[in-house]
A and B are shown apart, each in its own frame.
Chain A
Amino acid sequence: MRYFKNNYKNMLMPTMFLTILGVTIYTFPVLFNSYDLLNIESLLAFLLIISIFIPVYEYRVIKNKRGADLYYSLPLNRKHLNLQIFLKGLIEIITSTVLVMILTTLIYLTKEYNINYLYLILFYLTAILSLISLYSFNVFIFKEANNIIDGIIFIGIYLLICMQFVYSLDILFSFNTKLNFIQFSPLNLLFGNRSYFISKITKEEPALLIGFMDLFMYLFWTLLSIGLGVVSIVYTKNNKPELVLEKSSSYLGYITLIPVIIFSLSVIVVGLSGRDSFIAVMIIGFLGYVLNVIYERSFKVNWINMVIILGVLIAATILSYSINYIYR
């Protein structure tokens, strides 16, 4: 608590910045529009931006050598340090989001929007829970990296990779399930139920219903993300200043992500393009090399990695081709 008491100024600046950003993205378009613009998508975009920005901003201090020297030498054990940084970021995002929401609601009221305010409040509360969850998820992912750039790349990949992988399985096994693939991404937390809430807020008739799968996947991502947030605080083995600025060799990092990306992309491309997919497969192979360059931070070919990438690429291509065009 002494930290928060003495360093409220350190939180004030990011909170102000986030609030101004939120007002610019969400509130101003509502204020300056002549028609009844809810601008819910912009609010969600704002929440997505801050759920990525704040983990990077707050945890950057322990992802550089000088910051690590300071923070790891303080009289805090690693769990308390993690908790302190986590809470600081959390306070900043919640405070700014609540301020932006209150301000925009006041504008809705001033403009006498004919909307269901009860559902608006419910939506806001859900959005805040989603924000907390996505922030927790991104903190966990960012901490797996040893430097800021890798951390940002990991967050970006993890927001999409599960969705891409499930899509590739859908193509491979021809489930034709007509799945809402965003449900397999943490982005589901923000964007999964927006249509339902918009229809309720705007008193649309007949209002959309929320399905079992929608609710289940929302709860799944919420529990998983908050669980990962807790792990990011209590698990301290990746709090290693010795590894700061080294290449990010975590098993949850490039080592796993590159093969998964190559596999799922190859399956999707071959499944969709069929016999004409040769060039696309070559491009995926080149993408694998580029990702490997980012991981190794060297243009020099790491033969073990390249063999793995090419092996996955060839296996996925043959598998997808065989299932889609020979056996089917």
Chain B
Amino acid sequence: MIEFVNVNKSFKNNQVFKNFNLEIKKGTIFGLVGINGAGKSTMLRLLAGVYNVDSGFITINDEDIYENESIKEKIFFLPDEPYYAFNLKGIDLINLYKSYYDIDNDSLNKHLKAFNLDLNKPIHSFSKGMKRQLFVSIAISIKLDYLLLDEAFDGLDPLARLYFKRELIKIVSKNNTTVIISSHALRELEDICDSFGLLDRNEIKISGDLNKKLEETFKYQLACEKFLSKEMIKDVEVINFTVEGKLIKIAFKGKEELFLEEIKSYKPIFVEKLNVTFEDLFIDEIEAKGYLK
């Protein structure tokens, strides 16, 4: 299990984490979401041992990660813009990683074949998507316990994304690997993640079992004869309330029956239940904080 305990981390005057706490269970695919600058990449760098905490602890199975070679052998971090030296060929990059990690050659060859990558070409000649395919192939071919992926789907085409998602699910079920994946592609995350954390300045705003959270959240659109505002709804916790002309969209947590009973008094002309997606959950939570409004 990964644990963040009272973690503080600052860059100059910018405090990214303040008494930050989080637990991530073993063998899960954890989707890390948040607006730009929320601290997703910093959190992954802390987990990978690239950065050190100012105070607090980050542990894996009760062992500190920072400067711990035996723990770091079990972790692979794929940043959003991975490094490769100029003129380095794909095969050389693989050899570099082979120096430090136990790579399953059969698995790697399978992925490289699937993506149809020429390893004898310099990486700088690859397109953005091809570079991502190469790094992703390496990442999912390493036998390890923890895989940290920053902006994992960035640059991958829809087919490559589908392949990547399937392979991720396979390695989690086969090796009980814990995958922490940060992305703005929330639909992709919803397909594979079983848990998530929404990172907002200094803290995890909501986290936990993704399906459970989605089941706990409801979304309705309705139009009423009588005036209805956010403050007038008392029986449930309103996460988001938007009005477009006569149309009202409400996202809330609580008991659905209570909500339906409550709005009856405002004489609804029509009421329609909407599917709640991860994207809705994210947008509702973030909009509620006034972001980009």
Residue A3 interfacial (CB < 8 Å): yes
Residue B67 interfacial (CB < 8 Å): yes
A interface footprint on B85-106 (CB within 8 Å = 1, 0 otherwise): 1000000100110111100000
Residue B83 interfacial (CB < 8 Å): yes
Among candidates A7, A9, A66, A72, residue contacting B82 with C-beta atoms closer than 8 Å: A66
Interface residue stretch chosen among A45-53, A73-81, A185-193? A73-81
Residue A276 interfacial (CB < 8 Å): no
Q: Is the CB of A77 within 8 A of B67?
A: yes
Q: Which of A3, A69, A242 has the most CB of B within 10 A?
A: A69
Q: Is the CB of A5 within 8 A of B99?
A: yes
Q: Is the CB of B11 within 8 A of A242?
A: yes
Q: Is the CB of A69 within 8 A of B77?
A: yes
Residue B18 interfacial (CB < 8 Å): no
Cα distance A143–B248 in the bound complex, in angstroms? 59
Cα distance A75–B60 in the bound complex, in angstroms? 14
Among candidates B45, B72, B92, B100, residue contacting A3 with C-beta atoms closer than 8 Å: B100
B interface footprint on A53-79 (CB within 8 Å = 1, 0 otherwise): 000000001001011111111111110
Q: Name the interface residues of B166-197: CB closer than 8 Å to any CB of A.
A: none
In the bound complex, residues from chain A placing their C-beta under 8 Å from that of B67 are 77-78
In the bound complex, residues from chain A placing their C-beta under 8 Å from that of B101 are 75
Known: A7-B96, A73-B77, A242-B11. A61 touches B72 (CB 8 A): no
Cα distance A72–B100 in the bound complex, in angstroms? 12
Residue B50 interfacial (CB < 8 Å): yes
Residue B73 interfacial (CB < 8 Å): yes
Q: Which residue of A lies closest to B79 (CB)?
A: A69
Cα distance A277–B99 in the bound complex, in angstroms? 60
Q: Name the interface residues of A101-124: CB closer than 8 Å to any CB of B.
A: none
Q: Which residue of A lies closest to B41 (CB)?
A: A69
Residue B63 interfacial (CB < 8 Å): no
Q: Which of A7, A70, A74 has the most CB of B within 10 A?
A: A74
Residue B257 interfacial (CB < 8 Å): no
Q: Is the CB of B50 within 8 A of A6?
A: no
Among candidates B45, B75, B96, residue contacting A6 with C-beta atoms closer than 8 Å: B96
Q: Which residue of A lies closest to B98 (CB)?
A: A6
| Shortest distance from the beta carbon of B274 to any chain A beta carbon, whole Å | 40
Cα distance A71–B48 in the bound complex, in angstroms? 11
Contact-size category for B: 20 to 34
Q: Is the CB of B50 within 8 A of A241?
A: yes
Known: A78-B67, A242-B11. A73 touches B48 (CB 8 A): yes
Residue A275 interfacial (CB < 8 Å): no
Q: Is the CB of B92 within 8 A of A76?
A: no
Q: Is the CB of A69 within 8 A of B45?
A: yes
| Shortest distance from the beta carbon of A141 to any chain B beta carbon, whole Å | 23
Residue B51 interfacial (CB < 8 Å): yes
Residue B225 interfacial (CB < 8 Å): no
| Shortest distance from the beta carbon of A199 to any chain B beta carbon, whole Å | 45
Among candidates A3, A7, A68, residue contacting B50 with C-beta atoms closer than 8 Å: A68
Q: Is the CB of B81 within 8 A of A66?
A: yes
Q: Which residue of A lies closest to B87 (CB)?
A: A13
Q: Is the CB of A73 within 8 A of B75?
A: yes
Among candidates A10, A64, A67, A242, residue contacting B51 with C-beta atoms closer than 8 Å: A242
Known: A2-B99, A69-B45. A75 touches B72 (CB 8 A): yes
Cα distance A73–B67 in the bound complex, in angstroms? 10
Residue B231 interfacial (CB < 8 Å): no
Cα distance A291–B101 in the bound complex, in angstroms? 44
Q: Name the interface residues of B38-55: CB closer than 8 Å to any CB of A.
A: 45, 48-51
Q: Is the CB of A75 within 8 A of B99?
A: no
Known: A6-B99, A69-B45. A74 touches B82 (CB 8 A): no
Cα distance A5–B100 in the bound complex, in angstroms? 11
| Shortest distance from the beta carbon of B180 to any chain A beta carbon, whole Å | 13
Among candidates A69, A76, A242, residue contacting B69 with C-beta atoms closer than 8 Å: A76
| Shortest distance from the beta carbon of B106 to any chain A beta carbon, whole Å | 19
Cα distance A72–B47 in the bound complex, in angstroms? 11
Cα distance A241–B66 in the bound complex, in angstroms? 13
Cα distance A73–B101 in the bound complex, in angstroms? 12
Q: Which residue of B lies closest to A236 (CB)?
A: B67
| Shortest distance from the beta carbon of A250 to any chain B beta carbon, whole Å | 16
Among candidates B11, B75, B92, residue contacting A9 with C-beta atoms closer than 8 Å: B92
In the bound complex, residues from chain B placing their C-beta under 8 Å from that of A5 are 99
Among candidates B11, B49, B85, residue contacting A73 with C-beta atoms closer than 8 Å: B49
What are 15 A-B pairs with beta-carbon distances under 8 A? A7-B99, A10-B92, A64-B83, A66-B83, A69-B82, A70-B79, A70-B83, A71-B83, A72-B49, A73-B75, A75-B75, A77-B69, A80-B69, A241-B51, A242-B51
Chain B residues at the A interface, C-beta cutoff of 8 Å: 11, 45, 48-51, 67-70, 72-73, 75-77, 79, 81-83, 85, 92, 95-96, 98-101
List 6 extra interface pairs beyond A3-B99, A5-B99, A70-B83, CB under 8 A.
A10-B85, A10-B96, A64-B83, A69-B48, A69-B77, A69-B79
Closest 4 A/B residue pairs (Cβ): A66-B83, A73-B48, A75-B72, A73-B77
